[in-house]
Structure 1
Amino acid sequence: MKNHSIQACLRVILLAMCCLITRESRAASFDLPGTLPSMVGGGLGSTTDYAGARDRFVGAVPGIRYVTDGGRLFELYGPYAQFDFGGVTGLQYGPAVALRLGRSHVDDPVVSQVHDVHTTAEAGGFVGYEYDNQGAFPYRLRGSVTVVTNAGIVYSGARVSVNGSLWLPVQRRIFVGTGVGASWVSQGFNQVYYGVTEEDATRSGLPAFSPSGGLEQMTGWLAAIYQIDKHWFGGAMIYYQRISGSAADSPIVTQRGNRNQITYGVGVAYAFK
């Protein structure tokens, strides 16, 4: 796979596969009362080369969800991982790490003349709450906040993401879900990923641009999951991202890309515990 933005990869991972492992396995608890199985799976999806791009690529990624004997939850989706010290429902919190892939050797001949962005590691934590209603109208409602930083290795400051999701069964084996989210970033983040320096402008012909921090994107998604049998699950998802705030004014987006980004994918998962 090319060295694409982690945002593009995470959209494929978390939306084309994570929801086919993490979300659907939680949804499967409607069918399997009292169990939240460990699962392994993979997803295949199409997304843009980097946040704000027009060009697309197809990616395949693995994922693991593992519930420990003590009831703790470990989740790994491609370059993103988190460990929940809370419960599989109720209050959830713990560390989170990610590999943020860089932007280099892109297909766009103009953006390829803008400064490269190196691959780097991010670390931080998350806190959230998940409500599981097992009454006459069962559903799962979850909200979370994640904060990560690069500690100034590639960008300065931090990135904050807020997400909410709702899952409910429409038949015994079919589940549907929807979610919304938003991300806020530091000026240092936007300068690296959306900025155009004077040197970049001379090489590429794009106007120089120095973005501020703030709201970077708003997101929404729809998904459907089918429980094939006791162990196997499959599903599909479509994800919408709207580049927002100062990032949306970058010539990388306005002249060479699109602030409206679509990702879609399919995936399968196997429950083994």
Structure 2
Amino acid sequence: MSAAKAESLADPKPVSGWIVTVSAHGGFSQTWEGSKNLSPFLLPGLSMRRPGASVGFSAPDEAPGFALYDNGFLKAGVSGRLRGPRQQSSWGELHGVHDIDWTVEAGGFAEFWTFQKLRARAELRHGFLGHHGMIAEIYLDWVEKHGAWTFSIGPRLTIGDQAYMNKLFGVTWKDALGNGSVPPYVAAWGVKSFGAMAAVKYDWSQDWSTTAFLRYNRLVGSAAASPLVTNLGSANQWMLGLSVSYSFYVDMF
């Protein structure tokens, strides 16, 4: 077996291995979920598919992953997301409130095209390290492709179980005493937010692409009622940014 090698998509395609897409996503989002302030972010992305599998469409806010089943109409596989920490030492308004470490969310996804230009996608993930709850996200995207340009827009819905919601939006007695501006609060499971995403992608070549995106979320239910949001933050949540992706073949044989 020879050493692994990477090849440009413009090179002759190997008959085995994977097509790997690595991405860098940067921009501005809320400093912590429920905050009223924006701060810069930079996060990596990774996805894989078999040579010959359809390239398809992916939104910049969906969790990266790779398909285990793909018939061109229905696709399903594994996915994961890395979430940054929430630390009271970084944001003065959170003084005394419990920290949330870096979180790895791992799970799966399923998506299908209801019409030629309308994609529906659902993800279910479990958190590790920072939180240990379950989170479900539902995406609906209308996709228009014109040459090297791809335009997409659609609604979003996020649901969390109690472990997830209470970790992000709950306030313990210790938090309340340490902060002084928020009372104790227990967040319940349910819909966390609804919103919309719009994106514009340009393919510079078979290897390189750039995507600009804007997403708005409105916190609702138990999340919106949290004193962290009502007293210290805002129910209006924004994310805007730019991502750069590079795709290449990795042949293991």
Deviates more, 1:63-72 or 1:155-164: 63-72
Task: Report the counterpart of residue 148 of structure 1 in structure 2.
Answer: 125
Displacement of 1:232: 3.6
Report the counterpart of residue 3 of structure 1 in structure 2: none
**Which residue matches 2:44?**
62
Identity of aligned residues (%): 24
**Are 1:187 and 2:162 an aligned pair?**
yes
CA RMSD of aligned residues (A): 2.9
Counterpart amino acid of residue 197 in structure 2: W
Letter in 1 for 2:172: T
SS of the aligned residue for 1:85 comes to: strand
Q: After superposition, give the CA deviation of every residue in 1:147-166 in whole Å (9 maximum; x if it has no partner).
A: 12237x65454211111112
Name the SS of the counterpart of 2:194 in structure 1.
strand
Larger radius of gyration: 2
Q: How many residues align?
A: 227
Ranked by relative contact order (alpha carbons within 8 Å, sequence separation 6 or more), the top structure is 2
**Bigger mean CA deviation after superposition, 109-118 or 62-71:** 62-71
Do the aligned partners of 1:38 and 1:271 also contact (CA within 8 Å) in 2? Answer: yes
Distance 1:91 1:58, change over 3 A: same
What TM-score, normalized to structure 2? 0.77
After TM superposition, where is structure 1 displaced by more than 4 Å over at least 4 residues in a row? 153-157
Distance in 2, matches of 1:97 and 1:43, equals 15
Greater strand share, structure number: 2
Aligned match of 1:109: 92
Secondary structure at 2:74's aligned position in 1? strand
Alignment match, 2:11: none
The alpha-carbon deviation at position 110 of structure 1 amounts to 2.8
CA contact (8 A) 2:48 2:66 kept: no
Q: Secondary structure at the match of 1:150?
A: strand
Structure with the higher helix share, 1 or 2: 1
Q: What SS class does the counterpart of residue 191 from structure 1 fall into?
A: helix
Whole-angstrom CA distance in 1 between matches of 2:69 and 2:27: 31
Partner of 2:13: none
* Residue 216 of structure 1, aligned match among 192, 195, 202: 192
The question of whether the paired residues in 1 share the 8 Å contact of 2:88 and 2:96 is answered with no
In structure 1, distance between residues paired with 2:193 and 2:52: 37
Contact kept in structure 1, 2:45 and 2:64, CA below 8 Å: no
Question: Offset of 1:193 from its aligned partner?
Answer: 0.8
CA displacement 1:22-41 (0-9 Å, x = unmatched): xxxxxxxxxxxxxxx75444
Letter in 2 for 1:160: A
Q: TM-score, normalised by structure 1?
A: 0.72
Gapped regions of structure 1 (runs ≥ 5) = 1-36, 134-139
